[in-house]
């Protein structure tokens, strides 16, 4: 298999959580360590599609970059930068918004979920968010995009925009058609309080998520309080039907342990949920504790983080400058 060109982004909208780790960042690290060409972006332009406090946003950009580093992204191997420092993202987003069709955007379910009932009051930015995401990806000729399952639809839109541009400008292969890289199993980690809701930074309940900065004790307490049900521990996949909370906890266990589901059923046969939760806490603590400590250490060194972002921005600027020149030429500018 040849070298893949990887691009992915994470919004600096607060503490990153176990869902971001399992759904996205864990894969970033694996892809980097398989010697692919990787670009990981702190997507602050995406964050401002909903109102942000400027001072907190600045802090969140640093913390997101610190989380990338703490999870194992190495700035010597991968480009790490923040989106707003490379103006080509906004410029290409405008150009691609003239290629994308209203009908395509009208189908985006994340806009419907995030805008809620009062979509007239949502920002225009939130509506065209997927076009900016397409610009991020296409600008670097990314061939593969590791994302959580919730971003699959946006990636399909990026593919549609790429194909339409290539057809409209009679330029086959000008933009790559990016492939999503989504985990096959348990690609969407759910809230610890409601197995039908995605684990999310913006959930008002702290008990709904494991933050990557949580202490061991916080992790243990949150797992203890995680919702289960009155049924007994499942013994087969059939027992997981209509039990979203149980399925989610098992998904977290399998994702972090690398164990197979059949092995899990025999390991916990005849055991109760509190026993399973103890083992689950152990696994999460083992994985998250070193990350949490490293984030806290890096947060004490903001000038190092700023330097990593600046170096990454310079590299991203050089790559994107070449592509944007060619894109503008196609439009006749
Ligand atoms: N619960 C999740 N399970 C699996 N993957 C997830 N991702 C996010 N939540 C889950 C993946 O993490 C990457 C970065 O996401 P993001 O922070 O840029 O945006 P988001 O999906 O909007 O994340 P949140 O936590 O839900 O933020 P808020 O609350 O601010 O909206 C993406 O690849 C995403 O798929």
- Do residues 152 and 239 both lie within one domain? no
Residues designated as active site = 114, 198, 201
Q: How confident is the model at residue 1 (pLDDT cuts 50, 70, 90)?
A: low
Could you list the residue range(s) of the whole structural domain that residue 172 is in?
5-187+302-331
- CA-nearest residue, atom 24 of ligand 1: 200
Question: How many of the other CB atoms lie within 10 Å of CB of 300?
Answer: 8
| The pLDDT of residue 2 | 84
- CA-nearest residue, atom 25 of ligand 1: 200
Give 71: exposed, middle or buried? Use CB within 10 Å, 0-12, 13-18, 19+.
Answer: buried
Q: How confident is the model at residue 160 (pLDDT cuts 50, 70, 90)?
A: very high
Percentage of the chain exceeding pLDDT 90: 89
Ligand 1, CB within 6 Å, residue ranges? 10-11, 13, 19-20, 23-24, 147-148, 150-151, 188-189, 198-202
SS3 at position 239: helix
Cα(226)–Cα(187) distance, rounded to whole angstroms?
19
196 domain residue, yes or no: no
DSSP state of 86: S
Mean pLDDT of 162-177: 97
Q: Domain holding 307: CATH number?
A: 3.40.50.620
- Do residues 283 and 310 both lie within one domain? no
| The pLDDT of residue 31 | 97
- Do residues 306 and 292 both lie within one domain? no
317 domain residue, yes or no: yes
25 domain residue, yes or no: yes
- Do residues 61 and 135 both lie within one domain? yes
Question: How many of the other CB atoms lie within 10 Å of CB of 312?
Answer: 24
- Do residues 104 and 230 both lie within one domain? no
pLDDT digits over 245-278, tens only? 999 999 999 999 988 999 999 999 888 999 999 9
199 domain residue, yes or no: no
113 vs 64: which has the higher pLDDT: 64
Percentage of the chain exceeding pLDDT 70: 100
DSSP state of 146: E
pLDDT digits over 299-327, tens only? 999 999 999 999 999 999 999 999 999 99
- Do residues 290 and 306 both lie within one domain? no
- Do residues 15 and 147 both lie within one domain? yes
Cα(94)–Cα(14) distance, rounded to whole angstroms?
27
What is the whole-number distance in angstroms between the Cα of residue 19 and the centre of ligand 1? 7
Q: How confident is the model at residue 213 (pLDDT cuts 50, 70, 90)?
A: very high
Is the per-residue pLDDT at 139 higher than 80? yes
Element holding 291 (H helix, E strand):
helix 273-299
> b/e string for 120-153 if b means 16 or more Cβ within 10 A?
eebeeebbbbbbbbbbbbbbbbbbbbbbbebbee
DSSP string, 37-65: EEEEEE-HHHHTTS---HHHHHHHHHHHH
- Do residues 152 and 211 both lie within one domain? no
Element holding 181 (H helix, E strand):
strand 179-181
pLDDT digits over 45-102, tens only? 999 999 999 999 999 999 999 999 999 999 999 999 999 999 999 999 999 999 999 9
- Do residues 154 and 216 both lie within one domain? no
| The pLDDT of residue 316 | 98
Please state whether the predicted TM-score (pTM) of the whole model is above 0.75.
Answer: yes
Q: How confident is the model at residue 231 (pLDDT cuts 50, 70, 90)?
A: confident
């Amino acid at each position: 298999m040849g070298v893949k060109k990887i691009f992915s982004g994470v919004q600096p909208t607060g503490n990153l959580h176990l869902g971001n780790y399992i759904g996205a960042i864990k894969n970033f690290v694996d892809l980097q360590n398989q010697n692919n060409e990787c670009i990981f972006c702190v997507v602050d332009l995406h964050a401002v599609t909903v109102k942000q406090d400027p001072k907190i946003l600045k802090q969140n950009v640093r913390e997101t970059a610190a989380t990338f580093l703490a999870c194992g992204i190495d700035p010597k191997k991968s480009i790490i930068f923040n989106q707003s420092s490379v103006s080509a993202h906004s410029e290409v987003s405008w150009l691609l918004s003239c290629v994308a069709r209203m009908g395509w955007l009208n189908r985006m379910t994340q806009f419907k979920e995030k805008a809620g009932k009062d979509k007239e009051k949502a920002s225009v930015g939130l509506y065209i968010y997927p076009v900016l995401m397409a610009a991020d990806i296409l600008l670097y000729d990314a061939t593969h995009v590791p994302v959580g399952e919730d971003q699959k639809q946006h990636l399909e839109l990026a593919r549609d925009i790429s194909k339409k541009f290539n057809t409209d400008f009679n330029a086959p292969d000008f933009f790559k058609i990016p492939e999503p890289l989504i985990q096959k199993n348990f690609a969407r980690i759910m809230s610890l309080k409601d197995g039908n809701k995605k684990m999310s930074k913006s959930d008002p309940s702290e008990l709904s998520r494991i933050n990557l900065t949580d202490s061991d004790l916080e992790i243990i307490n949150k797992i203890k309080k995680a919702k289960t049900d009155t049924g007994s521990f499942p013994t087969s996949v059939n027992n997981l039907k209509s039990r979203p909370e149980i399925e989610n906890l098992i998904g977290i266990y399998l994702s972090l342990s690398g164990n197979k589901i059949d092995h899990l059923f025999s390991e916990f046969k005849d055991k109760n949920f509190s026993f399973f939760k103890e083992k689950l806490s152990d696994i999460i603590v083992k994985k998250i504790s070193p990350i949490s400590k490293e984030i806290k250490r890096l947060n004490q060194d903001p000038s190092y983080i700023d330097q990593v972002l600046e170096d990454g921005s310079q590299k991203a600027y050089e790559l994107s400058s070449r592509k944007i020149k060619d894109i503008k030429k196609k439009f006749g500018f």
